[in-house]
Amino acid sequence: MKIIVCGCGKIGSTLLSALAAEGHDLVALDDDPAVITEVTNIYDVIGVRGNGADCETLTDAGVEDAELFIAVTGSDELNMLACFLARRMGARHTIARIRNPEYNDASLDFMKRELELSMAINPELLAARELFDILRLPSAAKIETFSGRTFEMVELVLREDSPLAGLDLRDLRSRFKSTFLVCTVQRGDDVFIPLGDFVLKSGDRIGITAPPSEIGKFMRQAGLITKKARSVMLLGGSRTAFYLSKLLSVSGAGVKIIERDPEVAKELSETLPGVSVTLGDGAQQELLLEEGLRESDAFVSLTGMDEENILISIYAASQKVPKVIAKINRDELCAMAEKLGLETYISPRRIIADVMVQYARALENSQGSQVETLYKLMDGRAEALEFRVRQPVEGLTETPLHILGKNLKPNVLIAGIIRNRKTIVPGGEDVILPDDRVIVLTAGHRLADLADILAVR
């Protein structure tokens, strides 16, 4: 599928990397010749230098043949204009990055309709929502939601004293009466889709799927639950901090932001009533302690520097803050942060890459089903996908799972079925029906259609 990415900065480069791995025919468009040289040297893409809002440049990029046009430059207005022109010139689907908080939901809906945008994406807002979910259940290292939040996947790191260490999965299901499924385990550099005899060990990073109420029930029974964060300290007054502060304030949590730029601090204090904003350098440990770091339920580092976020988060953890989260965009630093003991981090670039890969797969010629949600798990070594079953598929629908399981590819697991907004954690007698939404976990396979889980089609 031909995809044009307009704007090859941090987000654009991440999209090129993710979409190139999917095998798409990519065109990179940017007005900086040095950027075009760099991305064409790194990725298997065609480079076009020019302004994305210029018709001649779009013609050079082959916009009339593009299935998908994605504009992620640093300007919201340029992104919208480029998408508008691309759509008029023949691109079948367009996506614009729109980050400015002044564009509220009503404005976005109007612009999407009038500009014929397929989607508007806001990396900072998506990151804030992911952070909010984690702070709602601080015991989790990561939370992914499916089908309107009726089904969740929670990643947990088993510590040395974890009550789950040493148990095999059959023991786990019998000991804890909740309805849940352990669907992935990361142990070192290896990722497993585990069977019932798999024994958990301390240090494992596990993924559990279930309805939200059942996940909470299981974690309480296992003694893993941590109280919801009620006082949160944020380092850095970024857009992500702005959106997260609004979400936390509405939920009743107390929020304190530490920001070193006087103008940004002043703007935040004016636009976020009820949020405490402190002007100062959060890299100074004395300031963090004076502002109540040790008394906070959670600390989230959201500066523009990955290294600073990692180091200050590790310091916060050393001060026994119950939940510490860092924003990290560079993949190589994510692995380093884990080895240094940082359990939870978020990457806005990865979040957007997941959304774009999901959208691109959904556009592919799927006949029996369509990808509705996609997440990369366990440092990208596994995927969780939500498919909507649109019509019967021979050998797949209306087949009991204990029979269907014999025909699945290795490292594929059916983790959940949502039927009429009712969540089913599947057993051997359950079946997949048309109109169901099906959650699939996989390692080592690229799935664009639910039928791709079958070893033989």
Average pLDDT over residues 267-272: 94
The secondary structure of 322-342, three-state, reads CEEEEECCCHHHHHHHHHCCC
How long, in residues, is the chain?
457
Asked if 348 and 327 count as a contact pair (C-beta separation under 8 A), the reply is yes
Asked if 13 and 41 count as a contact pair (C-beta separation under 8 A), the reply is no
Residue 22 exposure: Cα atoms within 13 Å on the Cβ side: 25
Helix orientation angle between 10-21 and 348-363, rounded to the nearest 10 degrees: 40
Beta partners for 418? 423, 437
Residue-wise pLDDT tens digits, 299-357: 999 999 999 999 999 999 999 999 999 999 888 898 888 888 898 999 988 899 999 99
Say if residue 451's pLDDT is above 60.
Answer: yes
Backbone angles phi, psi at 41, to 5 degrees: -75, -30
Asked if 231 and 254 count as a contact pair (C-beta separation under 8 A), the reply is yes
Tokens at residue 269, please? Answer: 């204090």
- Domains, the chain, ranges and CATH? 2-121 (3.40.50.720), 127-221 (3.30.70.1450), 231-346 (3.40.50.720), 365-453 (3.30.70.1450)
Tell which residue, 304, 207, 47, has the closest CA to residue 198.
207
Chain mean pLDDT for the chain? 90
Q: pTM of the full predicted structure? A: 0.86
What is the pLDDT, as a whole number, of residue 303?
A: 95
Confidence of residue 139 (pLDDT cuts 50, 70, 90): confident
Confidence of residue 107 (pLDDT cuts 50, 70, 90): confident
Average pLDDT over residues 285-306: 95
Q: Give the DSSP H/E element, type plus range, for residue 60.
A: helix 55-60
What is the pLDDT, as a whole number, of residue 177?
A: 75
Beta partners for 387? 371, 438
Cα distance between residue 298 and residue 159, in whole Å: 19
Average pLDDT over residues 390-411: 90
Cα distance between residue 95 and residue 260, in whole Å: 34
